[in-house]
């Protein structure tokens, strides 16, 4: 009897201990996020104190040429404008290219694709989503950029040069267009697989109801599926945006890395992530380092908001439905 | 009136055909180049890979040959440290989500935070770990790189573990409890064990993903041209080396970069296929 009680007591203790150990590990995830935020805030204080909100909104003026100037580590002038511009332009270019294609792929995979093809295509998507950024960058440097330089960019200039977005002053092939294309390739798998997940979550009765009214397949897809899934699809797109905003290596390798703002998309630029990757290790002085930290903090906050928002949207649609894709 | 109907039907049929065509076209437009990229990477890598790649360290500029032995060893060390941090914490977090916290507010919050942490750009992780570890330590080190990779593994491992554990039927848990097995033993010896193939491959996937991470290593592991086994000194890593070599002007270094990326790709293909294989059979079927 005594032995029995003792054993029970022990196991209750062990149970509770185990439970709390697991809780502790789960809580470290909170801890990590808080710690990252804390470190970034502390280290960016210097730049924040010196520039305040102007850091993100105001350019400096070059005293000799009277031209706007943004990023001058030597003289201690720091403005994040060209990096905000570069990040936004390259990301939106990527969305512009990737979203229609991703939705097309998702529609094909969920509604039209023969069963035998679905598995291999899903496998390829998963594989491509897992390929490291630096390898996409390597491919872009040796294949995409020469292709743009030799063929695509001259053609774009000739065809659309009059809009002012495709000037021909940059002979390198690097720039926003190259960054946008490689970003589009990189976010396609995630956007399309999430869209697919959301579309699969739409109940079959919706499709059947629309078909029963005599709709064609496309009408069934647009009215029965896409309309029901639209919130989730917006979530998938925003999640893709989140990826694109923070993508570092591939962009750093092809965007050209100059802290300037140009209207022409064929010009060299720089993004928030790429300037950190380029300058952080050899930052000249505390203010420079602190300015880069502040860029990192901004990136952190923006991606957290974007991701949280996107997750909420995707959850709103797939909640309760069996998940079939990751 | 009749004609109008006919016309409408024609338009509807046409737009249906057009939509189908566009969907197929976009699939081809996406899949073909992606496959082409993949084949190109494999081809370039395979034609650059040789034994020297695995056993020699980089030669000085101008000499041909050399390999990335230092980077491979470095990556292995970094990933070892990363796994030591990421795997236990991640699995425990997953156990909490699936076994103890199901449906609670805390679990939802943890799950949400893990997803959000997963989306934090790796470069931000890099500078955070820089100021957490490198600054107090005073110099770049292998240890700080491992910490960065470990932190990045946690959310992935945690979420896959949870998903795999959720696939274990409740009857198994109930059977264990009915036999009087204490809960912690039932979790570890029955539930986790049943789901272990899935959990292990999930860890492998996280491992393969962070193996290719470059951005968090630039300011932590930093890179090293020679061999290094010490944890408190800068160390080379495969993705870092690929980055540096890709931007260099030397053909020989480009060759090494391609070979290095093939090694990473093989690692990823292995991990992804294993996950698919494991989740296509037994109790774990349909997970992830």
pLDDT at A176 over 90: yes
Q: What is the pLDDT of residue B288?
A: 52
Mutate which of A130, A288, A298, A303 to test chain B, going by most B C-beta atoms within 10 A? A130
Going from the C-alpha of A95 to that of each of A81, A306, A321, the distances in angstroms are 21, 14, 27
Contact A26 B107 (CB under 8 A): yes
d(CA A287, CA A293): 10
Which CATH number is B55-284 given? 1.10.3720.10
Average pLDDT score over residue span A54-69: 81
pLDDT at A9 over 70: no
Smallest Cβ–Cβ distance between A134 and the set B92, B131, B243 belongs to: B243
User: Of A229, A185, A188, whose CA–CA distance to A104 is shortest?
Assistant: A188
pLDDT of A229-271, one tens digit each?
Answer: 888 899 999 999 999 999 999 999 999 888 888 888 888 999 9
pLDDT at A322 over 50: no
Q: Per-residue b/e over A11-31, b at no fewer than 16 CB within 10 Å? A: beeebeebbeebbebbbbbee
pLDDT of A35-50, one tens digit each?
Answer: 999 999 999 999 999 8
Q: What is the pLDDT of residue A6?
A: 53
A71 strand-pairing partners: A78
Contact (Cβ atoms closer than 8 angstroms) between residue A257 and residue A178:
no
Contact B131 A221 (CB under 8 A): no
Residues in chain B with CB shorter than 8 Å from the CB of A249 are: 214-215, 239, 243
pLDDT at A138 over 50: yes
Which of A94-98, A112-116, B76-80, B171-175 shows the lowest mean pLDDT across its residues? Answer: A112-116
User: What's the CATH number of domain A80-318, 1.10.3720.10, 3.40.710.10, 3.30.70.20, 3.30.420.480?
Assistant: 1.10.3720.10
Q: What is the nearest CA distance from A138 to chain B, expressed in angstroms?
A: 6
Q: What is the pLDDT of residue A16?
A: 87
Q: What is the nearest CA distance from A261 to chain B, expressed in angstroms?
A: 23
Q: Nearest chain A Cα to B130, which residue?
A: A39
Smallest Cβ–Cβ distance between B121 and the set A222, A253, A299 belongs to: A299
Residue B166 touches chain A, beta carbons under 8 Å: no
Contact A303 B119 (CB under 8 A): yes
Q: What is the maximal distance between C-alpha atoms in chain A?
A: 93
Q: What is the pLDDT along chain B (288 residues), one digit of tens a residue?
A: 578 888 888 888 898 889 889 988 988 888 887 788 888 888 988 888 888 888 888 877 777 777 888 899 999 999 999 999 999 999 999 999 999 988 889 998 999 899 888 889 999 999 999 999 999 988 899 999 999 999 999 999 999 999 999 989 999 888 988 988 888 888 988 899 889 888 988 898 899 889 999 999 998 988 887 777 888 889 999 999 999 999 888 888 888 899 999 999 888 888 888 888 887 776 677 665
Q: What is the CA radius of gyration of chain A?
A: 25
List, as ranges, residues 214-233 from B with C-beta within 8 Å of A: 214-215, 218-219, 222
| Residue B148 CB contacts under 8 Å (≥ 6 apart), including other chains | B82, B125, B126, B129, B213, B216, B217, B220
Domain boundaries, chain A: 80-318
Q: What is the nearest CA distance from B99 to chain A, expressed in angstroms?
A: 9
Contact B41 A300 (CB under 8 A): no
Domain boundaries, chain B: 2-38, 55-284
User: Of B133, B93, B106, B118, whose CA–CA distance to B217 is shortest?
Assistant: B133
Q: What is the pLDDT of residue B133?
A: 92
Helix, strand, or coil here: A65? coil
Q: Nearest chain A Cα to B24, which residue?
A: A108
Does the model's pTM come out above 0.95? no
Q: Nearest chain A Cα to B240, which residue?
A: A134
As a whole number, the mean pLDDT across chain A is 87
φ, ψ at A166 (rounded to 5°): -130, 60
Q: What is the pLDDT of residue B242?
A: 92
d(CA A155, CA A210): 45
In terms of C-beta density within 10 A (0-12 exposed, 13-18 middle, 19 or more buried), how is residue B259 classed?
Answer: buried
| Residue A292 CB contacts under 8 Å (≥ 6 apart), including other chains | A275, A276, A279, A280, A283, B127
Strands A60-61 and A77-78: unpaired
Contact A138 B246 (CB under 8 A): yes
d(CA B266, CA A122): 18
Q: What is the pLDDT of residue A325?
A: 38
User: Of B159, B157, B162, whose CA–CA distance to B200 is shortest?
Assistant: B157
List, as ranges, residues 46-65 from A with C-beta within 8 Å of B: none
d(CA A261, CA A277): 19
Residue B37 touches chain A, beta carbons under 8 Å: yes
């Amino acid at each position: 009897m005594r032995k029995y009680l003792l054993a029970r007591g022990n196991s209750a203790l062990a149970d509770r201990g185990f439970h709390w150990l697991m809780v502790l590990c789960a809580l470290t995830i909170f801890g990590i996020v808080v710690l990252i935020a804390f470190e970034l805030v502390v280290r960016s204080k210097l730049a924040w104190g010196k520039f305040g909100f102007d850091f993100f909104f105001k350019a400096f003026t070059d005293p000799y040429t009277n031209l706007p100037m943004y990023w001058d580590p030597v003289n201690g002038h720091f403005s994040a404008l060209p990096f905000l511009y570069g990040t936004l332009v390259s990301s939106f270019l990527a969305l512009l290219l990737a979203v229609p294609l991703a939705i097309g792929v998702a529609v094909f995979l969920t509604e039209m694709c023969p069963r035998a093809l679905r598995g291999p295509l899903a496998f390829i998507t998963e594989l491509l989503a897992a390929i490291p950024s630096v390898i996409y960058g390597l491919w872009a440097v040796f294949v995409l950029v020469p292709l743009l330089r030799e063929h695509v960019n001259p053609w774009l200039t000739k065809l659309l040069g009059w809009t002012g977005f495709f000037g021909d002053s940059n002979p390198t092939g690097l720039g926003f267009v190259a960054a946008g294309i490689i970003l589009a390739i990189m976010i396609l798998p995630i956007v399309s697989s999430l869209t697919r997940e959301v579309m699969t979550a739409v109940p079959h009765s919706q499709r059947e109801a629309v078909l029963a009214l005599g709709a064609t397949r496309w009408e069934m897809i647009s009215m029965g599926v896409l309309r029901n899934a639209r919130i989730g699809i917006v979530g998938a797109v925003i999640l893709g945006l989140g990826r694109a905003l923070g993508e570092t290596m591939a962009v750093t390798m092809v965007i050209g890395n100059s802290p300037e703002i140009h209207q022409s998309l064929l010009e060299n630029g720089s993004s928030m992530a790429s300037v950190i990757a380029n300058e952080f290790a050899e930052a000249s002085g505390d203010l420079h380092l602190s300015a880069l930290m502040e860029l990192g903090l901004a990136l952190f906050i923006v991606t957290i908001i974007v991701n949280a928002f996107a997750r909420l949207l995707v959850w709103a649609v797939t909640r309760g439905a069996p998940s079939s894709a990751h | 009136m009749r004609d109008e109907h006919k016309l409408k039907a024609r338009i509807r049929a046409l737009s249906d055909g057009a939509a189908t065509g566009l969907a197929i076209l976009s699939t081809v437009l996406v899949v073909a180049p992606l496959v082409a990229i993949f084949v190109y990477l494999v081809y370039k890598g395979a034609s650059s890979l040789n034994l020297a790649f695995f056993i020699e360290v980089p030669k000085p500029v101008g000499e041909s040959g050399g390999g990335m032995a230092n980077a491979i060893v470095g990556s292995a060390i970094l990933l070892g440290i990363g796994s030591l941090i990421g795997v236990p914490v991640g699995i425990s977090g997953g156990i909490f989500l699936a076994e103890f916290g199901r449906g609670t507010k805390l679990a939802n919050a943890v799950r949400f935070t893990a997803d959000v942490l997963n989306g934090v750009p790796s470069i931000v992780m890099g500078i955070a770990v820089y100021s957490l570890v490198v600054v107090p330590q005073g110099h770049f080190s292998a240890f700080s790189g491992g910490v960065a990779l470990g932190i990045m593994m946690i959310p992935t491992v945690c979420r896959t573990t949870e998903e795999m554990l959720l696939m274990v039927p409740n009857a198994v848990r109930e059977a264990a409890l009915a036999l009087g097995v204490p809960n912690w033993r039932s979790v570890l010896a029955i539930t986790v064990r049943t789901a272990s193939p899935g959990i292990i491959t999930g860890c492998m996937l996280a491992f393969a993903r962070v193996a290719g991470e470059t951005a968090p290593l630039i300011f932590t592991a930093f890179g090293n041209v020679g061999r290094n086994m010490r944890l408190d000194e800068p160390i080379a890593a495969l993705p870092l080396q690929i980055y540096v070599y890709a931007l260099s002007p030397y053909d020989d270094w480009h060759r090494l970069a391609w070979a290095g990326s093939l090694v990473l790709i093989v690692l990823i293909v292995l991990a992804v296929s294993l996950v698919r294989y494991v989740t296509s059979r037994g109790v774990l079927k349909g997970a992830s």
